Structure 1
Amino acid sequence: MPNSKRTERSSKKARVVSSTQGDLHLSQSPATKGKEKAKLSTKPEITLPTSFKIIAGSYEKLLYGLDGSVSLNEDNDGYKFELKPSFIFPAHVSCIKSVAASPNGGKWLATGSADEVIKVWDLRRKKEVGGLMHHEGSITQLHFPSRSHLLSASEDGSLCLFHARDWVVLRTLKGHKGRVNSTAVHPSNKVALSVGKDNTLRMWDLMRGKGSASTKLGKEGEVVRWSTTGSSFVVQSQNTIDVFSTDMVLRHTITHPSRVHTVQFSRRVNGSGDLLLVGAEDKKLSIYDIPDDPDKIPTIIAEMVGHSNRVKAVEILRLALPTSTKANETLSTTIVCTVSSDGKIHIYDLASLPADLGAASETLQISPVAEYDTKGTRLTCVTIAEGETAEHDSRVNGKRKRDDEENEQDDEDEAWGSETKNKA
């Protein structure tokens, strides 16, 4: 490995190495100073997107980009979902392990690989921006808690919080002894959880950039996820899923019928309450009902089917639906995207799950509403980026769009707390 790369890693700030294609060079300007400490504000109501983008990584180093859309289906008075390829190219020199898109209409895409590099892309322009070379191990997970922050995890045992404007490292969180497998940021954006090879569950204070709690699990946690309200979380290991309260007290242990690879929480489209989506070796995405009563054990009520091999990853996105002339109300749904070792990308409509479908009902089988076949590529990870929104479409001036986005990001930086930035 070149010595220059090792030198870059030893810096307190992650260097952003410009791509060979001559795309945009990101600066290493210091973090903004002088801003007053601000508390996290209540998240504003977000206009739902009317389209979406799917980005999937693979073992074969290929990155797939798809444009997704939904339209009225006049034949059956329903909706038609479509996926169209946007790009396919080798993005890394080794297996792609994680992909993440910035939320709320953000433009950034981050990809992490076994080559130890986090690549940053301008998703709107479809251009590589550069590489963050701060970790000394394979990148295991990437996540944008906000449009201006990127959280990464690595086999080197550390987590890093980057500022997604100048790409400086705000904090390097160390505490795990060995590989970090998964991270989860609380809906408040104030704390994060992580699990790793050291059989430890750790909680991090993102505002102060330090650990706040830890507990031994007695087994290696592979995936950790917060519920949609942040009132509980789960840790997955092999075929078991442990349900914890926020004070790290174990409530339930779910034993899934087969080896689990991914889990994700989602709100119901019809009715209220949380669902737990579980992708596994059984080639299905199982849907668990999460009872309001914490003493009741979650049970499978439906299965999303159609894959011919293990389900490796799942992501969700709330989406605005087009309205017909017969209806004036604003409609929305939640789409579920899965990728599998069979090389296929599936889209499911969570509105297919009835509101009154409970644990006593027969297990419902849900088929995909759209599919893309990579022809045998072993897909490993996936993310969904928001496309255009109705509000975004109504704007006529490109400069106004940029000004609005910059103002929103400035507000978000203050909400995240200048205390963290000034300590970097």
Structure 2
Amino acid sequence: MAKRKRETVDSAASLKPVKNWKEDLSSAPPKEQAARTDAPAAKSKDKAANNQTPAQANCTAKVDAPGRYDEGDRRETATIQIIAGSYERVLHGFTATFPQGLVTGPDSTDTPKEKEVTQPQVSFADTFLFNAHTSAIRCLALAPLSDESSKVTLATGSTDERINLYSLSTAPPIPSKNSKTSDLPTLYGNSIAENTKNKELGSLLHHSSSITALYFPSRSKLLSSAEDSTIAITRTRDWEPLSTIKAPVPKPQGRPSGDTAAPGEVPSGINDFAVHPSMKLMLSVGKGEKCLRLWNLVTGKKAGVLNFGREVIAAGGETRFGTGEGRKVAWDKEGEEFAVAFERGAVAFGIDCKPIAKVVPTPRTKLHQMQYLPSDSRPNTLVVSTEDGRIMFYDTQSTAPQPNNAKDEDISSCMLIAQLGGPAAGITGRIKDFEILSPPDADGKSFIIISGSSDGTVRIWTISISELAAPATPAKLGEGFTAGQAGKLIGTYSTGLRITCLKAFVMTGKPEEAEAEAEAEAEEDIAKSNSSSSSDSESE
């Protein structure tokens, strides 16, 4: 299907005057051309400055104004496939296409005037919309990408006890008259570039309760956890379960606040798990348990238990009426450190299972997602998303000075080095999930962050390593550190769904148009060879 350019109200309003400027400039004298070119730009700049706060001006991307990238861009574009799960049981996939210069920075051959040109709008296009489950989608997982295959496996988990499997194409769809594409009707006016290679593979039914977490350690294995207190290891070749790790059900110790278990029962199940980079160890946290469990993936047996003490639970923002259970767990890139997220805070531990520092957002708010920055230069940067619409970057190796009333056993706070969004930038909706991507051309110096909010808004940010410098002085001791806005918002897309989970990957496969042409050429070669062989046989 032909991919149509999305025309929103803002982009249409900004593109229409450009056409008039070009028509006027073609017939105007050179002096008037310069005056007319500068006037609209200055007027739009003044208007934007009057309507935005300093924080909003720093975070708001100038994506509506046209630039020199509209046509004839000599730099390549990057395409990202984004998949969002929702409470409405819908699996929504769409692509975001933008010049690589938005991430890697201006081209070295650009002149100073060209570098100041406003960046273009990110173009979005819907690729698929699956009615995946019969209840809310809770988690997603993507298999590692491979250069040998143009497909990637997607797994979705829901509260309906099912794991659905999909095969997604890694090739960006390119509209062409010769390709097998056509325009589809849409209610919202969004561009649609449906890929016929995106298919549903089937469902897995080896769990007896809601699915809580999914992970592909490799292309050959899938790990899944559920509220039935089991972690299943499935072989992707034939989707047969190889083994099941059974976590013990906690003993009843009263009914904590917010307990939804039936009378006579206790809350149980795996909240989250994380596999060590060596693929030999795994951490898990569960409901109703004030501990962390360590598993040996070689033998499939328990390797140890780390009980959370009072100082750890207090550092995680838990009160005496809370459950004290870990909600999320994550390893860093090197496997030398891991973090456990509680309801209103997180604690980082070393490989010796001793607490290093705590993450305490200021003002206090809930944490929804957590992961380490996949960077070699900053491997100890913990990224968390919050209830008030912030994505916060903490350096777990740099701690804040303890306040005067602090006790010796209190855990030091991590230093907040940067943040994205939040009320200061006009973003207040909670960020349920986010994904950090490192494009190949960025060389680990810059990253793309895709965030999904409960109001259905997906935002695409870019941030560089140079922006993650530690602040010079703390604002308030004992209550965390304030940091300025970092990064840049380059695109916003509204799905109209209540997003619960999100995944994304850079589409590095062969474009559909080139692949279709290659297949056509191969078919022509086969037809020619068949015709020549038949003519030779007739001549004999």
TM-score, scaled to structure 1: 0.73
SS in 2 for 1:334: strand
The structural deviation recorded for 1:195 is 0.4
Answer whether contact 1:235 1:243 (CA < 8 A) is retained: yes
- 1:138 is displaced (CA, Å) by 0.4
* 1:188 has 2:278 as partner: yes
Q: 1:206 aligns with which of 297, 315, 327?
A: 297
Q: Assess, with a 3 A threshold, how the Cα gap between structure 1 residues 50 and 320 changes in structure 2: closer, same or farther.
A: farther
Measure how far apart 1:50 and its partner are.
Answer: 5.3
Give the counterpart of 1:233 among 330, 338, 343.
338
Q: Does the alignment pair 1:86 with 2:193?
A: no
SS at 2:464 equivalent: helix
Counterpart residue number, 1:149? 221
Q: Which has the higher helix share?
A: 2
Q: Which amino acid aligns with 1:208?
A: T
The answer to whether structure 1 residue 64 and structure 2 residue 92 are counterparts is yes
Question: For 2:386 and 2:430, how far apart are their aligned partners in 1?
Answer: 6
Q: Which one is further off, 99-108 or 140-149?
A: 99-108
1:88-112 per-position Cα deviation (integer Å, ceiling 9, x unaligned): 2321000000011111236100000
Contact residue 357 and residue 399 of structure 2 kept, 8 A:
no
Partner Cα distance (2:336, 2:330) in 1: 11
Alignment partner of 1:379 out of 499, 502, 508 = 499
- Taking a change above 3 Å as real, the CA distance of residues 171 and 303 of structure 1, as seen in their structure-2 partners, is same
- Residue 133 of structure 1 is aligned with which of 193, 200, 205? 205
- Partners of 1:391 and 1:291 in 2: how far apart? 43
8 Å CA contact retained: 2:232, 2:243: yes
Q: Distance in 2 between matches of 1:159 and 1:393?
A: 42
Q: Structure 2 length as normaliser, TM-score? A: 0.58
SS in 1 for 2:145: coil
- How many Å separate the matches in 2 of 1:251 and 1:392? 49
Could you say what secondary structure the match of 1:107 adopts? strand
Q: Whose radius of gyration is greater, 1 or 2?
A: 2
Q: Distance in 1 between matches of 2:399 and 2:392?
A: 21
| Runs of 5+ unmatched residues, structure 1 | 1-48, 323-329, 399-424
The answer to whether structure 1 residue 108 and structure 2 residue 161 are counterparts is no
Change in CA separation of 1:267 and 1:130 when aligned onto 2, cut-off 3 Å: closer
- Aligned pair 1:333/2:439, yes or no? no
Moved more, 350-359 or 190-199: 350-359
Q: Which position in structure 1 is the counterpart of 2:436?
A: 316
**For residue 202 of structure 1, what is the amino acid of its counterpart?**
R
Give how far 1:280 is off.
1.0
5+ residue gaps in structure 2?
Answer: 1-76, 102-109, 170-196, 250-267, 310-323, 401-410, 475-481, 520-540
| 1:248 lines up with 2:353 in the alignment | yes
Cα RMSD of the aligned pairs, angstroms, is 3.1
Equivalent pair of 2:356/2:396 in contact (CA under 8 Å): no
In structure 2, the partner of 1:31 is none
Please say if 1:282 is aligned against 2:321. Answer: no
Single out whichever of 75-84 and 361-370 deviates more from structure 2.
75-84
2:307 aligns to what?
Answer: 216
CA contact (8 A) 1:101 1:383 kept: yes
Tell me how far apart the structure 1 counterparts of residues 472 and 294 of structure 2 sit (CA, whole Å).
32
Amino acid at match of 2:328: V
* 1:115 Cα deviation from its structure 2 partner: 0.3
Residues 324-381 of structure 1: per-residue CA shift (max 9 Å, x gap): xxxxxx6863211111112111111121752544463861214422221113x21000
Distance apart, 1:213 and its partner CA: 1.3
**Letter matched to residue 102 of structure 1:** A
Q: What secondary structure is seen at the aligned counterpart in 2 of 1:208?
A: coil
Distance, in Å, in 1 between the alignment partners of 2:518 and 2:235 is: 28
* Secondary structure class of the residue paired with 1:364: coil
Q: Quote the Cα distance in structure 2 between the aligned partners of 1:341 and 1:236.
A: 20
Alignment of structure 1 residues 337-416 onto 2, 5 Å: 337-351=450-464, 354=467, 356-358=469-471, 360=473, 363-366=483-486, 367-375=488-496, 377-388=497-508
Q: Residue 33 of structure 2 corresponds to which residue in structure 1?
A: none
Q: Which amino acid in the other structure matches residue 58 of structure 1? A: S
8 A contact 1:179–1:196 mirrored in 2: yes
Q: 1:386 to 1:161 in 2, by over 3 A?
A: farther
**SS of the counterpart of 2:438?**
strand
Q: Call closer, same or farther: CA 1:337–1:162 in 2, change over 3 Å.
A: same
* Structure 1 residue corresponding to 2:372, chosen from 252, 265, 270: 265
Deviations 1:359-418 (A, max 9, x none): 63861214422221113x2100011234216999999978xxxxxxxxxxxxxxxxxxxx
Task: Work out whether 1:173 is the aligned partner of 2:245.
Answer: yes
- The structure, 1 or 2, with the larger RCO (C-alpha pairs under 8 Å, 6+ apart) is 1
Identity %: 32
Q: Relative to structure 1, is the Cα distance of residues 63 and 77 closer, same or farther in structure 2, using a 3 angstrom cutoff?
A: farther
**Contact between 1:267 and 1:274, CA under 8 Å: does it hold in 2?**
no
